[in-house]
Structure 1
Amino acid sequence: MDFLPVSLNITGKKILIVGGGGVAFQKLQTLRKFTSAIALLAPVFSDEIIKSGFKRIKKEYSPKYLKGFFLVYACTDDKKLNARIKKDADKKRLLVNVADDPANCDFISSAIYKKGSMVVAVSSGGKNVKKTVEWRNGIKDYLNDHMPK
């Protein structure tokens, strides 16, 4: 798998996270640094997601909920459902990230450090998430110690 690092223009575009648990919340934490146009779809949501204030659609997944979205994150704990979300989104030509399954992703999320308008993104192409996070944290620490505020 070869992933091209890009920065997508998401101005005026909506993002859907399918899932209501910990992985969905982690994706939300990253995405909220860049946009508030995020909705979450799941029959049940964690307390953290409820407290986040983001739009929640408390329903079982159906392809009809993909309408109007630009990016889709499949973050359920059901591999078959995540595969179905990917298949449905492909039919609608939507970009899809299937959590913890880089082989079935149109894109993967980098480990990101954002300060103001500056963004540093580190990726291992989905091969070593732990090392990616370590590198991101090292870069973050270095920048915080050596760059002007």
Structure 2
Amino acid sequence: MKSFMPVSIEVSKARIVIIGGGKVAHRKLRTIVQYANDIHVYAPEILPEIKLLPVSWTECPYSDDLLTEASLVYACTNDSDLNRRICQNGKNMGALVSSASDSGDCDFLSPAIFQHENMSVAVSSNGRQVRNSIIWRDAIRAFILEDLIHRR
């Protein structure tokens, strides 16, 4: 079993590639766009909500060359075999990869994040209990915001 260490990495100039244009990709992108500027989404079909985000998007089938020069790759398709192939190809090209299907294929995981001003809290279950990570993040957010209200 893999062991993931929480870290923060500088991604403002990193080329980030998301393969997949559905709900999972959209959920990841809502966070990614807060930190990065060079984001590319590729999928045969892309949700209209994704097209409204500040990202480059192309409706096309997956091909290995889409990962060229990527620093981070997110495999967010509904096909676990394709996600595994995307991860392997991304690793072969020197990118760090994350799969929506299998944390065993991942080099990194995206935690549930709460950010307020210059402070961030990230909650991760190492890919095992994603819903609990979100519940914890929301509880921490509520606690911190309530505390800030009472301090003012």
Q: Does residue 1:33 correspond to 2:34, yes or no?
A: yes
Return the offset for 1:24.
Answer: 0.6
Q: d(CA) in 1 for partners of 2:33 and 2:79?
A: 24
Amino acid at match of 1:10: V
Structure 1, unaligned runs of 5 or more: none
Taking structure 1 as the reference length, the TM-score comes to 0.94
Q: d(CA) in 2 for partners of 1:3 and 1:94?
A: 17
- How many residues were matched structurally? 149
Tell me the SS of whatever aligns to 1:2: coil
C-alpha RMSD over aligned residues = 1.4
Residue 4 of structure 2: aligned partner: 3
Tell me the SS of whatever aligns to 1:125: coil
Residue 127 of structure 1: aligned partner: 128
Q: Which runs of 4+ in 1 moved over 6 A?
A: none
Label 1:53 to 1:7 Cα distance change in 2 as closer, same or farther (>3 A). Answer: closer
Matches for 1:36-115 after TM superposition, within 5 Å = 36-115=37-116
Return the offset for 1:124.
Answer: 1.1
Amino acid at match of 2:90: A
Which deviates more from structure 2 when the two are superposed, residues 81-90 or residues 49-58? 49-58
Q: d(CA) in 1 for partners of 2:124 and 2:54?
A: 29
1:26-59 per-residue CA deviation (whole Å, 9 max, x = no partner) reads 1101111212321101111111112224210221
Aligned-residue identity in percent: 36
1:74-102 per-residue CA deviation (whole Å, 9 max, x = no partner) reads 00001111111011111112100001311
